[in-house]
């Protein structure tokens, strides 16, 4: 929540100074951005498993297997255009329930649907945020998925009034990340792509699509419970990732160079350093680079200037690319 709120306001309020034009529109993804679809569906099935055990006498193992099978089938094919949503979902429950309970498919489906929209709901603070943003910006929703299934969410969650336009890929010839769906959204709100921001949880659809459409900015909502220590764009950058603190604490550069190049350290850095040594003519330039790129106390400007002095133009370019997206990169250009 705080990420969405802070970044949406910060980016939007930078206006012409940063993006060339004042931000006029903010577009949101729906599933797992504004509503916890994946987690909510899991909670609904967990609760339904308890009901199957207590009310219908299934064992814990069979009840869990039943709900798991349904959820997998539902996620694989949430809608069937040849029939209604209710009929399709009831059929999926018929396929998932054990033989002696298949006759309860419609009853179980109705219980699941009720539980689903208990857990898949837009948080109150998100609703407040959208209403406040809408006082200053035009707000749009761009969601991928079957038409019936996505509009059911919009209607059951009563969120239609929060947006100035809603686009569902199932109604259109394109889906995210095709830039046409973003262009259409901009046209509906009478804004230019470079006056717009896209916010979503999927890099391959929301973020790549927003960039392909030349939006002023994109914001990625990450659901990773564990964050990596460093992010690199290509494997070659692995050579410049700062060494672990255990190696940094070795006071002698000569000892450090010897332990890394000879493979005595016993970790992956020995391989990287050995490769780096073999690519450079002489150990002095390698030592200069190592001291430069692995000094966490240096600011960006200091590292930039040192990189220029040792003639590492390629690395300077990498510094510029990385730090242009980070306000504080003193610890690592990949943090």
CA distance 335 to 323: 10
CA distances from 301 to 232, 259, 262, 292, 293 (A): 20, 30, 33, 12, 13
CA distance 2 to 129: 10
In the listed set 119, 145, 172, which residue is the last one of a domain according to the structure? 119
Q: Residue 310's domain spans which residues?
A: 235-323
Mean pLDDT of all residues belonging to the chain: 77
Q: Kindly report the CATH number assigned to the domain that includes residue 55.
A: 1.20.120.710
Q: What b/e sequence results for 172-209 when a residue is b if at least 16 CB atoms lie within 10 Å of its CB, and e otherwise?
A: eebbbbbbebbebbbeebebebbbbbbbbbbeebbbbb
- The CA-based dihedral angle spanning residues 14, 16, 22, 25, taken in that order and rounded to the nearest 10 degrees: -50
Provide the β-strand partners of residue 142: 167
Q: Strands 196-200 and 217-220: what pairing?
A: parallel
Specify whether 96 is located in the same domain as 210: no
Specify whether 83 is located in the same domain as 211: no
Domain count, the chain: 3
Specify whether 107 is located in the same domain as 172: no
314 inside domain: yes
SS3 67: helix
CA distance 147 to 32: 17
Specify whether 310 is located in the same domain as 262: yes
- Among 149, 142, 159, 126, smallest CA distance to 206 is for 142
Specify whether 243 is located in the same domain as 274: yes
Q: What is the DSSP letter of 48?
A: H
Specify whether 261 is located in the same domain as 184: no
In the listed set 160, 188, 220, which residue is the last one of a domain according to the structure? 220
CA distance 296 to 328: 12
CA distance 316 to 293: 11
131 inside domain: yes
Specify whether 132 is located in the same domain as 17: yes
Whether 317 contacts 308, CB under 8 Å = no
CA distance 166 to 188: 9
Q: How many CB atoms lie within 10 A of CB 280?
A: 14
Specify whether 42 is located in the same domain as 30: no
CA distances from 173 to 165, 169, 176 (A): 17, 7, 11
CA distance 264 to 256: 10
28 inside domain: yes
CA 104 to chain centre: 38
In the listed set 58, 90, 119, which residue is the last one of a domain according to the structure? 119
Residues 6+ positions from 108 with CB-CB distance below 8 Å: 48, 52, 93, 97, 101
Provide the β-strand partners of residue 118: none
Specify whether 85 is located in the same domain as 113: yes
pLDDT of residue 243: 63
Specify whether 100 is located in the same domain as 207: no
CA distance 256 to 10: 44
Query: Nearest 5 degrees, angle CA 34-CA 139-CA 165?
Result: 95
pLDDT of residue 286: 46
CA distance 205 to 207: 6
Q: How many CB atoms lie within 10 A of CB 322?
A: 19
All residue ranges of the chain with pLDDT < 70 are 1-21, 243-335
Q: Could you give the count of Cα atoms lying within 13 Å of 180 in the half-sphere of its Cβ?
A: 6
Whether 65 contacts 133, CB under 8 Å = no
Q: Kindly report the CATH number assigned to the domain that includes residue 128.
A: 3.40.50.1000
* pTM > 0.75: no
pLDDT of residue 233: 79
């Amino acid at each position: 929540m705080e990420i969405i709120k802070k970044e949406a306001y910060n980016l939007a309020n930078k206006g012409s100074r940063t993006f060339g034009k004042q931000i006029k529109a903010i577009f949101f993804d729906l599933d797992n951005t504004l509503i916890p679809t994946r987690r909510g569906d899991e909670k609904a099935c967990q609760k339904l498993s308890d009901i199957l055990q207590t009310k219908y006498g299934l064992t814990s193992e069979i009840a869990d297997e039943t709900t798991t099978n349904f959820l997998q089938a539902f996620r694989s094919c949430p809608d069937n255009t040849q029939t209604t949503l209710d009929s399709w979902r009831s059929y999926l429950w018929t396929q998932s329930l054990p033989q002696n309970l298949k006759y309860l498919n419609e009853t179980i489906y109705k219980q699941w649907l009720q539980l689903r929209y208990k857990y898949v709901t837009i948080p109150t603070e998100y609703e407040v945020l959208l209403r406040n943003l809408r006082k200053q910006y035009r707000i749009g929703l761009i969601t991928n998925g079957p038409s019936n299934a996505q509009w059911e969410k919009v209607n059951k969650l009563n969120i239609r009034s929060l947006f100035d336009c809603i686009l569902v890929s199932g109604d259109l010839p394109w889906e995210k990340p095709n830039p046409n769906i973003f262009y259409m959204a901009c046209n509906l709100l009478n804004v230019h792509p470079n006056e717009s921001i896209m916010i979503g949880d999927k890099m391959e659809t929301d973020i790549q699509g927003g960039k392909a459409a030349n939006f002023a900015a994109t914001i990625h909502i990450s659901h990773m419970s564990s964050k990596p220590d460093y992010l690199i764009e290509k494997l070659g950058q692995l050579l410049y990732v700062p060494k672990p603190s255990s190696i940094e604490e070795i006071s002698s550069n000569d000892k450090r160079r010897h332990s890394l190049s000879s493979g005595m350290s016993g970790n992956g850095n020995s391989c990287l350093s050995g490769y780096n040594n073999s690519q450079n003519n002489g150990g002095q330039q390698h030592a200069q680079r190592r001291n430069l790129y692995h000094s966490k106390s240096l600011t960006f400007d200091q590292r930039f200037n040192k990189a220029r002095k040792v003639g590492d133009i390629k690395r300077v370019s990498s510094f510029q690319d990385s730090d242009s997206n980070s306000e504080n990169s003193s610890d690592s250009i990949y943090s």
